[in-house]
Structure 1
């Protein structure tokens, strides 16, 4: 097993939900975390919540992950401290049938969820390949393979992440750069708030409950530390994908 102690980690969507849970666990394991998000106040608060031991340094940078200029600024800042681990956890949801989804909303979902992940991967792979080390963890969704009512564009964006990661795994594996996907089911976050009011959603899950963001974070830690974990699609869904 690899140690992430002292490793430089960039986590998009790091101010809340799954991204923040991953950042907290990685920080506890003594990694140095840079959190990416759109809102400075939320990012500042998130960074302050991270465990910080001597020699650790946590930072934040506010930008829209679908904006190439934001990634250019990040990489410029990281020239002397290259990124070891990238976690693409930024994402926005959808709750409308395709026929009722405005084009602007469609574009935003694809831009943040898919284009943002593509730009993140594109930004880090060359420096990682040159150093012959690196780890990319992309957060997809169970809906990528199972679909969901009122989530057609969201599901398409998350399916694209799986295709991206599996193709990327072919491209970078020989350079000792690993690329993997986590495919969460229904997890207790702001995105799923109110979805299980009557317990109906939990009843569909074989384990009888929604997952916790910390459980997804544990999966990310496994992928970050297992030297042979490459091209994985790791389901964290309480068995829902079996139904």
Structure 2
């Protein structure tokens, strides 16, 4: 505890002198404690919609020659003053020197007043204590994408269609608007129209189109054989990748 008070005092002194010197990343520690891995929600991507609450799981792996004693609640921070604090982590030993500390936080778009500007790259701040009194503190121990959930639709018509005739595939790309708690069109985004021949399992890209000002999509192709059409969006920093459910077209 004495060490923590000392670090806090130093941090306070640095804050007071912030106008005189450039700001520095708030990292610190004593001894040989290190953070070796940070995983958020399994793949370092968190997608939040407009209604359902989302539990974000954070796992931080650390090591010290004496073993890991515990961790403080992790802080998650991102654009536009985004900020969450997890529950008290539970640390499970992987070996005599290494433990993985896990905690979670519930994010509810209906009560947490998210702004659309909160979407983007977020960071995990972690403080890990070792059994011998050593510790490590990293302001940006790991990063993850905090994203506005996406939706994508497709409708290929006419059905059925004669071989050589034109098939028109319409659809819409939309994403969560956290400020209105509704989904809205995602404009001017490249979306691939893909086709999977009946009896196969692989989609191939036919062409790429851009969503219009309402998120709407439209593309035309020539009918050749039975199969499924879908739209596929690769995603952005603020919005996750998504595939539409394939729409079957019977070609005669």
Structure (1 or 2) with the greater helix fraction: 1
Q: Structures share a fold, TM > 0.5?
A: no
Range class of TM-score, shorter chain? under 0.3
Which structure is larger by alpha-carbon Rg, 1 or 2?
2
